[in-house]
C-alpha cells in the first residue's frame, strides 16, 4: 500500500506549476519549497527515447561537476605494486589488491562510493560483478575507472565526477549537488550533466531523445525542466 504524502510535501507540491521551467527558475523554486531539516541532495532525472536492451542504444558516461557535489566520496583503488603507493599519495581512502577483492567477494563489503582498478587487476576484479554491478560500482574503461593513471582518476572523483547510465526503463538518475549550494552553482552543475547526457545520444536513437527531465531534492516534489537550450549547446 502506497504511503500517503504528508502535509508538508503536499504544500510544497502545490507551489510547483504543471509546466516546464527554465533551469534558472527551477533551482530557486526547489530551494524555496524545501521543508526537510537536513541538507538534501538535488537530483536530475531524464527519461530518454532509447531502448537499453539494445547495446547500441545504451547511454552512459561521466561528467565532472564544476562545483563539486558537497560530499567527499570514499574511493577504493584496487591495484598492485607501485600503483598502490601512487593511489595512497593521490588521496585514495582505501588501497589494496587481491586482499580487497577477497574482502568484497567473501563479505559483500561495499563501504565505499567509487572503485578504481588498474588493468592488470581486472581479471580478479571481474569476479566482483554480482556485488559491484547492481550498485553501479563496477570499474569500467569507458568511465575512466579502469586506468593506469590512478592519480588522475582519484582527483576527478574527489572533485565531483558523476557517472550516469540509463536504467532498464530508459531513465537516467544522477546527483548534481546539495540544496544548500548557491543557486547559480547548482544551475551550472545541472547544466553540465544535462549537456553531457545529450552529447551521449546514440547514433541509432530515433525520434525525440529527451522525453522529459525533472529536478527534485531528496524529500521534495519534482519540477519539470526545459532541456531544449541544452540540445543547442550540445550540438555546437
The string of pLDDT tens digits covering residues 203-221 is: 998 889 999 999 999 999 9
Q: What residue segments make up the domains of the chain, in order of their start? A: 15-68+161-235, 75-159
Among candidate residues 90, 199, 107, the one with its CA nearest the CA of residue 151: 90
CATH class assigned to 15-68+161-235: alpha beta
Q: Output the pLDDT for position 110.
A: 94
Q: What is the CATH topology of the domain spanning 75-159?
A: Rossmann fold (3.40.50)
SS (H, E, C) 200-229: CCCCCCCCCCEEEEEEEECCCCCEEECCHH
Q: Output the pLDDT for position 150.
A: 96
Q: In this predicted model, what pLDDT tens digit does every residue of 98-133 receive, in sequence order?
A: 999 999 999 999 999 999 999 999 999 999 999 998
For residues 195-234, b (16+ Cβ closer than 10 Å) or e, as one string? bbbbebbbeeeeeebbeebbbbbebbbbbbbebeebeeeb
Amino acid at each position: 500500500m502506497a504511503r500517503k504524502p504528508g502535509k508538508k510535501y503536499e504544500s510544497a507540491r502545490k507551489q510547483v506549476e504543471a509546466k516546464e521551467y527554465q533551469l534558472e527558475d527551477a533551482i530557486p523554486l526547489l530551494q524555496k519549497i524545501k521543508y526537510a531539516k537536513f541538507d538534501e541532495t538535488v537530483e536530475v532525472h531524464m527519461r530518454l527515447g532509447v531502448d537499453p536492451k539494445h547495446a547500441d542504444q545504451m547511454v552512459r558516461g561521466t561528467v565532472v561537476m564544476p562545483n563539486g557535489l558537497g560530499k567527499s566520496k570514499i574511493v577504493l583503488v584496487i591495484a598492485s605494486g607501485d600503483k598502490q603507493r601512487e593511489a595512497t599519495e593521490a588521496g585514495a581512502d582505501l588501497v589494496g589488491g587481491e586482499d580487497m577483492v577477497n574482502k568484497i567477494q567473501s563479505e559483500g563489503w561495499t563501504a565505499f562510493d567509487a572503485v578504481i582498478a588498474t588493468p592488470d587487476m581486472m581479471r580478479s576484479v571481474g569476479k566482483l560483478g554480482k556485488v559491484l554491478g547492481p550498485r553501479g560500482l563496477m570499474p569500467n574503461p569507458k568511465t575512466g575507472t579502469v586506468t593506469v593513471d590512478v592519480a588522475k582518476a582519484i582527483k576527478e572523483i574527489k572533485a565531483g565526477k558523476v557517472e550516469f547510465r540509463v536504467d532498464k526503463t530508459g531513465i537516467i538518475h544522477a546527483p548534481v549537488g546539495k540544496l544548500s549550494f548557491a543557486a547559480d552553482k547548482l544551475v551550472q552543475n545541472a547544466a553540465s550533466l544535462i549537456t553531457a547526457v545529450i552529447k551521449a545520444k546514440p547514433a541509432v536513437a530515433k525520434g525525440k531523445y529527451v522525453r522529459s527531465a525533472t529536478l527534485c531534492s531528496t524529500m521534495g516534489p519534482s519540477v519539470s525542466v526545459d532541456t531544449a537550450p541544452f540540445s543547442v549547446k550540445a550540438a555546437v
